[in-house]
């Protein structure tokens, strides 16, 4: 259990279990993943040489349904990270009330350094290597950092070739022509903005009164910024890996998205009244709302006391450390946690899987309406639960989700 990220997960699990008075046996079950797999992936490179990459897949819990979780291609991927992310997926699915458990996987690789053909060979080898533990009723991967719809297309093809049956439901986040769902690409960011809307509706604040900053301008952050702008929020700061831009009068979000679509990064974007800020500075801007939508571990005990936002809605997985949480709580900052706020992606993945299993496809409007319904319901459930018991929203969300998983363990019993 060594490793900082999984320790963060365990710290939250211990706290929620203590308040829940969870049986020690059930805590022990939830503190360890059900299954982990580490695979060595030999790949023939374009120059004829052979490189071996390390791949991972983890099932944290399948007590409420098949494992569900993304596959990331990044040099930071390791078993500790994969276990932490798989655990978060267990709680996220339980908060949303969808019949999945938590899974996660990845390959330690910089995808930018591989050609398209090398990526394809690496992906196919990874699918072959984890084949025994994935499937539409076992474990359903999805895109994550460094992966995309095309990589999911290769997943579907490789799995289907080995099983002899076209199985679009083996992954979600696929291209539309091979069973992907309309609305899936925007779903995580859309869900974050539904959470923002629900938060300020309960506080009696209009979106036009809210100045916000978004850290991260990838798929989640860019769509969050665009939809927050459409909602009426004044988006004053955004950043990506190259740095950020700030304008206290409000940024032209559509213009930034257009610039990023053409240049890949925010770096180099200029407009009247816009100043350059670093990622670190963006977190401490004088705003009402901060949306961390980049990587985990961004808000720590080193910078939490400098955060000026009164509200944080987490678009990324695990952006706030347990130590930072305590500091923010003392300062009176209201945090809408990742396992609630960024659940839109997995909810829409669930919709995609259901459509695949039924071979019956929905319109984008149907997808977005159903997503709104689930996000609104789960927000209300966590908000009311936390308020009644005078808990933070994070602790409330963890208690609710751990309670649901624990109940499923009790109902099923321990085998043998």
Closest CA relative to residue 314, chosen from 279, 296, 341 = 341
What's the token pair of residue 263?
């240049």
The closest of 295, 246, 280 to 81, measured between CA atoms, is 295
Per the listing, tokens 């046996």 go with 25
Residue 140, φ and ψ in degrees, nearest 5: -120, 95
Sequence-separated (6 or more) residues with CB below 8 Å from residue 348: 172, 181, 183, 184, 187, 188, 191, 367, 371
Q: Is 409 exposed, middle or buried (0-12, 13-18, 19+ CB in 10 A)?
A: middle
How far out from the chain centre does Cα 169 lie? 20
Active site residue 51: no
Separation between Cα atoms, residue 68 and residue 395, nearest integer Å: 23
Gyration radius (Cα) of the chain, Å: 21
Question: Exactly one of 83, 92, 104, 174 is catalytic; which is it?
Answer: 104
Helix 79-96 to helix 364-389 angle (10° resolution) is 90
Catalytic residue positions, numbered: 104
């Amino acid at each position: 259990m060594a490793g900082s990220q999984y320790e963060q997960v365990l710290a939250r699990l211990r706290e929620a279990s203590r308040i829940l008075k969870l049986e020690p046996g059930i805590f022990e079950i939830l503190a360890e993943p059900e299954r982990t797999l580490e695979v060595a992936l030999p790949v023939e490179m374009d120059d004829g040489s052979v490189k071996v990459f390390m791949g991972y897949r983890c099932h944290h819990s399948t007590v409420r349904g098949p494992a569900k979780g993304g596959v990331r291609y990044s040099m930071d991927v390791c078993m500790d990270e994969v276990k932490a992310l798989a655990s978060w997926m267990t709680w996220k699915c339980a908060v949303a009330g969808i019949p999945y458990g938590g899974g996660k996987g990845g390959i330690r690789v910089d995808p930018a350094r591989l050609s398209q053909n090398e990526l394809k060979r690496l992906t196919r080898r990874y699918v072959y290597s984890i084949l025994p533990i994935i499937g539409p009723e076992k474990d359903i991967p999805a895109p994550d950092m460094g992966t995309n719809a095309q990589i999911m297309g290769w997943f579907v093809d490789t799995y289907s070739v080995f099983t002899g049956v076209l199985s679009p439901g083996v992954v979600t986040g696929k291209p539309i022509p091979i069973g992907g769902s309309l609305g899936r690409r925007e779903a995580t960011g859309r869900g974050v903005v539904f959470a923002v809307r629900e938060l300020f509706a309960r506080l009696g604040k209009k979106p036009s009164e809210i100045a916000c900053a978004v850290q991260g301008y990838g798929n989640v952050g860019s769509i969050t910024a665009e939809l927050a702008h459409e909602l009426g929020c004044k988006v004053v700061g955004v950043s990506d890996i190259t740095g950020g831009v700030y304008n206290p009068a409000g940024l032209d979000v559509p213009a930034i998205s257009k610039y990023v679509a053409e240049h890949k990064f925010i770096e180099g974007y200029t407009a009247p009244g816009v100043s350059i800020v670093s990622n670190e500075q963006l977190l401490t801007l004088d705003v009402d709302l901060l949306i961390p939508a980049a990587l985990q571990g961004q808000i720590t005990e080193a910078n939490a006391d400098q955060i000026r936002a009164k509200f944080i809605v987490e678009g990324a997985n695990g952006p706030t450390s347990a130590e930072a949480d305590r500091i923010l709580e003392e300062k009176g900052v209201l945090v809408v946690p990742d396992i609630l706020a960024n659940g839109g992606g997995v909810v829409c993945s669930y919709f995609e899987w259901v459509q695949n299993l039924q071979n019956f496809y929905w319109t984008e409007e149907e997808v977005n309406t159903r997503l709104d319904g689930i996000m609104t319901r789960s927000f209300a459930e966590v908000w009311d639960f936390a308020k009644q018991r005078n808990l933070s929203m994070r602790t409330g969300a963890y208690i609710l989700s751990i309670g649901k998983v624990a109940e499923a363990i009790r109902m099923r019993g321990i085998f043998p």
